[in-house]
C-alpha cells in the first residue's frame, strides 16, 4: 500500500460531547480520546449510543454540545477516515467492481485500480470472487467486501458498526481475522459489538456505554479482569442493564 | 390634587430609589484564571463564600495561563489568578499588574500507564523520570497549549537538560488541548503526561493510568493573584478587585481554600506570603 498522508486525524478527542435528536439525548457529556493503539471496542446494550458515537467520530453528525477534534483540529474533512455500517449497501456490480468504484472515489488513477482491487480482495480473503456479483455474495463475504471498499481510501481510522452481527461463527472468525490484519497495519480500528466474546478477542481498549453515557473505559485486560464500576461488573456477568 | 410637577418629582424619586446607589447593580468583577483551576471546582467552592461576605459577584474567564494574562493585558479582566510565576512577574514588569500576591499552591504529578515502560513509578525525582521517558522513547502527551501546566512542563524538560522542541521524537505528542483532553489522550495511548493533582483526582476516565511520580519540590505549582493595573486600564474595578485579593489572603479566604476537598482529598494548600 502507498504511504498515507502525513497529517494525522489522531488522536480523536471528544470533550464533553452531547448529541440529541428529536428531543432525546443520545450521547450525554462524553469525554474520551482515541489514539494510535490496538482496536477500541464500544460495548453496551441496545440504545447505548454506540452507533451515534461512531457516526460522530466519522464526522457525519456534529455534537449539540462540546467538541470533537481530529489530530487537534475541528471540522476536518473525513478524508482519512472510513466507516462500515452494519448492513453495507452493495452496488450492482461485481465484487471487484465495487472496490474499483471505491478506488475511483478515493482518487486512485484508473490504471492502478485493477491491481489495487486485487490486492484488497486478497487482503480481505475474497480471492477468486472478484467477478461474482456483489449482491450474490454471502453475508460474511459482503461484509468483507465492505471492508475492502473502506480500505480503498487508505484510512488512518476505520470505524465499524457491528461488523459481525448476524454472521455465523465461521464468517465471524473470517471478519475478525481481517480486522486483526487491518489493525496490524497501523490503522486505528474503532468498532462496536454486542458480543462480549468478540470484544475479548479483538479489543485493546474497551469503552462501555449505557444510555448515552460513558460508564467505563480502559485496557481490555483490566476491564475484564477488574472492572471499576458496578455497571461494568453486571454487564460482564451478562446481566441486563436497564 | 397632585400637580404635574409633583408627579414628575415622585416618578423620578421612585426611579432613583429603585435603582439604588450608583454602581450597586454592577458589584461584580472579572477574574481571568486558568482552565485547570476552574475545572478543579475550587471557584465553585470559594466564590459563593466571597459573595456572601461582600456581595461581589466574581465572573471567571478560564483559559490557559498565557491566554489569561493576555486577557488581563487587554484590560478585559480586573484581576488575574494564575500559576506561572515567571510569566506573572513579566506581566507586572510590563506595567499590566499592580502587585503579585501568593495565594496557594498545589502540585503537578506525572501520570503514566501502570505497566510503566520507562520504569519511573514511585520516583520522587521528576528530572530523572523525564530523562528516563525520553531515553526509552515512552509515549508522552503534552498539553502544548501555553497553559501554566504546559509552561511548567517545558521548564522541567529544561531542568532535565533536554531541549524538548529539538529533541522530541514520535514519542512526544503535543496536542494543544486542555487538561481533561490531554488525560484522555494519555489514557487512550497508554502514555505519560503531566497533570495538576486536582484535575487528576476529578478525572473519571483514568483507565490504566496511575500516578508515576510526585512529591518532587520542582512539581509544586504556586498560584498568584494580581490586580490589573488601573493606570493602564482606567475602567478596572480596582476597589472591588482588591477586595477579592484581600479576601483570598485573609484567614477566612485561606481557610476556604484549605477546606475545599474532592473525594475527601485536599487539592490546594494556602500560601500567603
- Contact between A36 and B185 using a beta-carbon 8 Å cutoff: no
Alpha-carbon distances, residue B232 vs A38, A200, B187, B226 (angstroms): 54, 62, 44, 14
**A11:B191 CB<8 A:** no
Concatenated DSSP letters of A128-180: T-TTSBGGGS-HHHHHHHHHHHHHTT--SEEEEESTTTT--HHHHHHHHHHHH
Q: How far apart are CA A133 and CA A91, in angstroms?
A: 9
Q: What is the ipTM of this complex?
A: 0.75
CATH of B107-219, one of 3.90.1150.10, 3.90.180.10, 3.40.50.720, 3.40.190.10: 3.40.190.10
Residue A128 at interface with chain B, using a CB cutoff of 8 Å: no
Q: What is the CATH number of domain B26-106+222-270?
A: 3.40.190.10
pLDDT the model gives residue B26:
76
What is the grid cell recorded at B69? 494574562
Contact A218 B185 (CB under 8 A): no
CB B261 within 8 A of CB B267: yes
Q: For B32-76, what is each residue's pLDDT tens digit?
A: 999 878 888 899 999 999 999 999 999 999 988 888 999 999 999
Domain boundaries along the sequence of chain A: 12-237
Digit-coded pLDDT (tens) for B80-107? 999 888 899 999 999 999 999 999 998 9
Asked whether the beta carbons of residue A15 and residue B208 sit closer than 8 angstroms, the reply is: no
* Res A3: pLDDT: 40
Given its phi and psi angles, is residue A185 left (phi above 0), alpha (psi -120 to 50 degrees) or beta? alpha
Q: Do B206 and A218 touch (CB under 8 A)?
A: yes
pLDDT > 80? residue B181? yes
Predicted TM-score (pTM) of the model is: 0.76
Q: Name the architecture of domain A12-237.
A: 3-Layer(aba) Sandwich (3.40)
How many C-beta atoms lie closer than 10 Å to residue A40's C-beta? 26
Coil, helix or strand for B130?
A: helix
List the domain boundaries for chain B.
26-106+222-270, 107-219
CA distance A215 to chain B (A): 9
Contacts of B206 in chain A (CB under 8 A): 218
CA–CA distance, A185 with A116 (Å, rounded to integer): 16
Residue B1 pLDDT class (50, 70, 90 cuts): low
Min Cα separation B258/chain A (Å): 29
Q: Answer yes or no: same fold for B26-106+222-270 and B107-219.
A: yes
Number of Cβ pairs < 8 A linking chain A and chain B: 61
A213: cell is 453515557
pLDDT tens track for A97-127 = 999 999 999 999 999 999 999 999 999 999 8
Q: Considering CB atoms only, which of B173, B189, B205 is closest to A217?
A: B205
Neighboring chain A residues of B191 at a CB cutoff of 8 Å = 35
CA-based nearest distance A220→chain B, Å: 10
Give the integer Cα–Cα distance in Å for A35 and A183: 13
pLDDT surpasses 50 at B144: yes
What's the grid cell of residue B236?
A: 478596572
For B238-250, how does the pLDDT look when each residue is reduced to its tens digit (9 = 90+)?
Answer: 999 999 999 999 9
**Separation in Å, CA of B107 to nearest CA in chain A:** 24
Asked if B178's CB is within 8 angstroms of A13's CB, the reply is no
Contact B270, B258 (CB under 8 A): yes
Q: Which of A92, A106, A198 minimizes the C-alpha distance to A148?
A: A106
For A17-75, the pLDDT digits (tens) are: 999 999 999 999 999 999 977 899 999 998 999 999 999 999 999 999 999 999 989 98
| A17 contacts A38 by C-beta, under 8 angstroms | no
At B119 the three-state DSSP class reads coil
pLDDT at B165: 92
Residue B214 to residue B126: CA distance in whole angstroms? 8
Specify the pLDDT at position B149. Answer: 87
B99-135: pLDDT as tens digits:
999 999 989 999 999 999 999 999 999 999 999 999 9
Residues of B with CB under 8 A from a CB of A: 173, 175-178, 180-181, 184-185, 187-191, 204-208
DSSP letter for A105, please: H
Amino acid at each position: 500500500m502507498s504511504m498515507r498522508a502525513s497529517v494525522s486525524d489522531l488522536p480523536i478527542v471528544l470533550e464533553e460531547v452531547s448529541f440529541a435528536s428529536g428531543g432525546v439525548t443520545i450521547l450525554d457529556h462524553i469525554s474520551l480520546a482515541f489514539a494510535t493503539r490496538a482496536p477500541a471496542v464500544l460495548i453496551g446494550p441496545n440504545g447505548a449510543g454506540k452507533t451515534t458515537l461512531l457516526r460522530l467520530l466519522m464526522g457525519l453528525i456534529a455534537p449539540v454540545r462540546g467538541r470533537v477534534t481530529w489530530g487537534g483540529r475541528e471540522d476536518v474533512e473525513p478524508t482519512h477516515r472510513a466507516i462500515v455500517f452494519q448492513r453495507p449497501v452493495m452496488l450492482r456490480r461485481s465484487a471487484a467492481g465495487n472496490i474499483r468504484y471505491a478506488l475511483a472515489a478515493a482518487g486512485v488513477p484508473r490504471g492502478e485500480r485493477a491491481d489495487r482491487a486485487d490486492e484488497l480482495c486478497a487482503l480481505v480473503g475474497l480471492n477468486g470472487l472478484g467477478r461474482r456479483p456483489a449482491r450474490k455474495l454471502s453475508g460474511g463475504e459482503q461484509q468483507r467486501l465492505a471492508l475492502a471498499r473502506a480500505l480503498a481510501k487508505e484510512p488512518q481510522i476505520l470505524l465499524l458498526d457491528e461488523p459481525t452481527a448476524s454472521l455465523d461463527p465461521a464468517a465471524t472468525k473470517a471478519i475478525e481475522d481481517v480486522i486483526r490484519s487491518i489493525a496490524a497495519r497501523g490503522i486505528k480500528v474503532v468498532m462496536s459489538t454486542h458480543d462480549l466474546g468478540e470484544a475479548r478477542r479483538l479489543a485493546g481498549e474497551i469503552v462501555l456505554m449505557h444510555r448515552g453515557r460513558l460508564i467505563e473505559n480502559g485496557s481490555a485486560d483490566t476491564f475484564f479482569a477488574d472492572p471499576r464500576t458496578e455497571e461494568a461488573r453486571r454487564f460482564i456477568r451478562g446481566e441486563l442493564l436497564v | 390634587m397632585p400637580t404635574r410637577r409633583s408627579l414628575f418629582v415622585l416618578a423620578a424619586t421612585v426611579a432613583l430609589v429603585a435603582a439604588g446607589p450608583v454602581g450597586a447593580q454592577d458589584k461584580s468583577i472579572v477574574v481571568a484564571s486558568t482552565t485547570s483551576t476552574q475545572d478543579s471546582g475550587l471557584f465553585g467552592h470559594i466564590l459563593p463564600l466571597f459573595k456572601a461576605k461582600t456581595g461581589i459577584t466574581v465572573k471567571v474567564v478560564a483559559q490557559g495561563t498565557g491566554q489569561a494574562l493576555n486577557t488581563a493585558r487587554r484590560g478585559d479582566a480586573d484581576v488575574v489568578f494564575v500559576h506561572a510565576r515567571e510569566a506573572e512577574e513579566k506581566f507586572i514588569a510590563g506595567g499590566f499588574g499592580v502587585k503579585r500576591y501568593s495565594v496557594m499552591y498545589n502540585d503537578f504529578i506525572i501520570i503514566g500507564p501502570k505497566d510503566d515502560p520507562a520504569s519511573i513509578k514511585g520516583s520522587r525525582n521528576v528530572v530523572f523520570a523525564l530523562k528516563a521517558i525520553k531515553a526509552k522513547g515512552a509515549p508522552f502527551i503534552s498539553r502544548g497549549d501555553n497553559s501554566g501546566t504546559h509552561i511548567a512542563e517545558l521548564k522541567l524538560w529544561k531542568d532535565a537538560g533536554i531541549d524538548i522542541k529539538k529533541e522530541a521524537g514520535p514519542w512526544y505528542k503535543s496536542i494543544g488541548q486542555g487538561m481533561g483532553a490531554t488525560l484522555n489522550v494519555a489514557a487512550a495511548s497508554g502514555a505519560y503526561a503531566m497533570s495538576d493533582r486536582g484535575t487528576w483526582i476529578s478525572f473519571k476516565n483514568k483507565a490504566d493510568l496511575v500516578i508515576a511520580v510526585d512529591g518532587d519540590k520542582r512539581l509544586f505549582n504556586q498560584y498568584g493573584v494580581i490586580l490589573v493595573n488601573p493606570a493602564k486600564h482606567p475602567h478596572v474595578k480596582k476597589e472591588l478587585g482588591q477586595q477579592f485579593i484581600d479576601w483570598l489572603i485573609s484567614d477566612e479566604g485561606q481557610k476556604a481554600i484549605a477546606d475545599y476537598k474532592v473525594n475527601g482529598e485536599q487539592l490546594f494548600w494556602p500560601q500567603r506570603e
